[in-house]
Amino acid sequence: MTDKKETLVKRYESTADHFERKGKREWAYAKNDMGDHHYGRAKEAFDRAKRNREKVEKLRNE
């Protein structure tokens, strides 16, 4: 794997981890009656994490 690919993989993994943490936090807010809009934010964060993890898999399989 080239250096550029390795850098992209690290970046996408880090971004996925960030959105995973953000999704969990938003989900906790929603579960603790801090507003239903947090469910939507959690879903968006988990979707972004999933997309970034898919990009990592795609890069690793090239």
Give me the pLDDT at residue 2, please. Answer: 75
Domain ranges, residue 33: 23-62
Q: Is residue 27 part of a domain?
A: yes
Domains held by the chain: number: 1
Please check whether residue 49 is in contact with residue 19, taking contact to mean a CB–CB distance below 8 angstroms: yes
Is residue 59 domain-resident? yes
In a domain, 29, yes or no: yes
pTM above 0.85, yes or no: yes
- Whether residue 13 lies inside any domain: the answer is no
Residue 31 lies in a domain: yes
Is residue 6 situated within a structural domain?
no
10 within a domain of the structure (yes/no): no
Q: Is the distance from CB of 37 to CB of 59 less than 8 angstroms?
A: no
Per-residue model confidence (pLDDT) at position 1: 56
What's the chain's length in residues? Answer: 62
47 in a domain, yes or no? yes
pLDDT values of the chain reduced to their tens digit, one per residue, 62 residues: 578 999 999 999 999 999 999 999 999 999 999 999 999 999 999 999 999 999 999 999 98
Show Cβ contacts of residue 40 under 8 Å, excluding neighbours closer than 6 positions. Answer: none
